[in-house]
């Protein structure tokens, strides 16, 4: 497949145009991947709306039907559901740690087993998040173990 990139004037709107013989699964996958790259993570903090980078997120937490985005020093609310965020997250960098948490793997400092039969993940900022036993194999596979 030929790939062309054309530089345009800053005043013009950027766009991606795919010219294909038919819209097959491969094309749809490309579109999905591009959409993921462009996906915005919007966080609400009071009346202000913030555009966030996934790389800055430590974890997502669902509490009482609300979803919160935890960055290093700030917490934002998200209007998306946890499972929607799970689909949006870069798959290699985030993983579902329990029913109500999605963790950024790169922010994990270390993990240790707890006596309750689960794992505790300590993050760069010193916070500790519980990782359910059933999700540990997912973390292992994402780390290539």
Partner 1 sequence: MKLSQVLSNMIRNFFVIFGIIIIGTAILNPDFIFTSEKILLVTFMAFATDCVNLIYWSRKELSERERNVRRILHFILIEVIVLTFGNVFAICSGWLETIIFGAEIMVIYVLVCVIDWLLDRKTANQINEKLRLLKSENQQ
Question: Which residues of the chain form contacts with partner 1 (CB under 8 A)?
Answer: 98-100, 105-106, 108-119, 130, 132, 134, 136, 139-140, 143-145
User: Measured between alpha carbons, how far is 127 from 109 in angstroms, rounded to an integer?
Assistant: 10
Min CB(112)–partner 1 separation in Å: 5
User: Measured between alpha carbons, how far is 139 from 145 in angstroms, rounded to an integer?
Assistant: 9
Rg of the chain on CA atoms, in Å: 18
**Is 63 within 8 Å of 99 (Cβ atoms)?**
no
Min CB(133)–partner 1 separation in Å: 8
Min CB(62)–partner 1 separation in Å: 9
By beta-carbon proximity to partner 1, the closer residue of 27 and 100 is 100
By beta-carbon proximity to partner 1, the closer residue of 42 and 86 is 86
**Is 71 within 8 Å of 104 (Cβ atoms)?**
no
By beta-carbon proximity to partner 1, the closer residue of 45 and 106 is 106
Q: 123 in helix, strand or coil?
A: strand
């Amino acid at each position: 497949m030929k790939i062309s990139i054309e530089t345009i004037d800053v005043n013009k709107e950027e766009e991606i145009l795919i010219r294909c013989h038919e819209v097959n699964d491969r094309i749809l996958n490309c579109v999905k991947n591009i959409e993921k790259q462009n996906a915005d993570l919007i966080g609400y903090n009071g009346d202000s709306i913030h555009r966030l980078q996934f790389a800055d997120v430590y974890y997502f937490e669902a509490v009482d039907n609300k979803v919160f985005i935890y960055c290093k020093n700030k917490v934002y609310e998200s209007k998306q559901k946890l499972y929607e965020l799970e689909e949006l997250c870069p798959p290699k960098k985030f993983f579902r740690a329990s029913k109500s948490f999605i963790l950024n793997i790169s922010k994990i400092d270390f993990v240790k087993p707890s006596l309750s039969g689960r794992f505790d993940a300590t993050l760069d900022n010193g916070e500790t998040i519980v990782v359910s036993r059933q999700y540990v194999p997912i973390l292992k596979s994402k780390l290539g173990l």
